[in-house]
Structure 1
């Protein structure tokens, strides 16, 4: 795997330049790049529309909103989301967002604790990406099967073939015309749907 493709893109949402600089210095560039800064929720939303990110770090509260609702708005994505909240609010916020798969850390905390949390988020997003790829592959296979079955039933109905004959007909058509079985089935469906 190309080391550059395994880098995780990070968006840090914080009003503070110092916070951004400190967090950026903790994250190794070989693993996390680019690291982008948004100073408020509105700016972060624009950046999220412009580009995909793997990890979203939110330093609560934001100047234009608290940050919890902002995080919840993006919990359906494959991004790993980490909320940093004041220690006195940690329990309340953590219990509210944990069902959404959002990780919460109290502020202040150690660079090691923060780095471990970001590494866990990185592993989680990688796992979600793999599951999504596998899911897409399974959906494609199911679509292939449905299309081929539809073509088989059209051949059975229109050409009075047996299921086995229809199956072999589709395979032969695919081989002869150098098509996938699904493409061959789609051509059969087009022919009989006219």
Structure 2
């Protein structure tokens, strides 16, 4: 099955005009759009509250905050992939504090090759998170169906004096005979026996 190409939304949090220009050159619109640039953590927080981003790149330090807590918050609350760029002398300390939260760390100064490699890793991680999101939604749907079917079984048990096994068989047979889901049958039963 071929990989479906995605276009990744990017939030660049950086007060450095030169780095912003360099990064924009590495983010072609065919792969990355929109690319929003903000120059402070407070503006980044506002952007994150307005929309979800696939990738967040934080160039530390920023005028109003270093950026480490923001990076951790974004990683823990969303399926966004975050990389934080830090100076070499504080790389190890920063890395050890953000590692367990899933924040990627890149040492400054860096090169275009290192940034491109980081972007590849970020996209790969984002695709993995996308698959996990789909599985989670699928599991939530299945759990919701089980809850509705169980409520319908109890409605049949109370209203029709069926056993649980009989109620289960009834729902299964109705779903098969009508070529619909068990959920649809269960919802009909719940409507009938309100």
TM-score by length of 1: 0.88
Contact 1:156 1:162 in 2 (8 A): yes
- Consecutive unaligned residues of structure 1, counting only runs of 5 or more, are none
> Which residue is 1:161 aligned to?
162
Give the length in aligned residue pairs.
191
Residue 57 of structure 2 aligns to a residue whose secondary structure is strand
Contact 1:154 1:189 in 2 (8 A): yes
Provide Cα deviations, 1:151-180, integer angstroms capped at 9, x if missing partner.
113212321224454235335655788864
Counterpart CA distance in 1 for 2:96 and 2:176 is 57
Deviation at 1:92, TM superposition (A): 0.5
Residue 82 of structure 2 aligns to a residue whose secondary structure is strand
Structure 1 vs Structure 2 CA RMSD? 2.1
> Which residue is 1:32 aligned to?
32
What does residue range 46-65 of structure 1 map to in structure 2 within 5 Å? 46-65=46-65
Residue 75 of structure 1 aligns to a residue whose secondary structure is helix
Q: 1:2 to 1:121 in 2, by over 3 A?
A: closer
Q: More displaced, 41-50 or 77-86?
A: 41-50
> Which residue is 1:147 aligned to?
148
What does residue range 20-169 of structure 1 map to in structure 2 within 5 Å? 20-76=20-76, 77-169=78-170
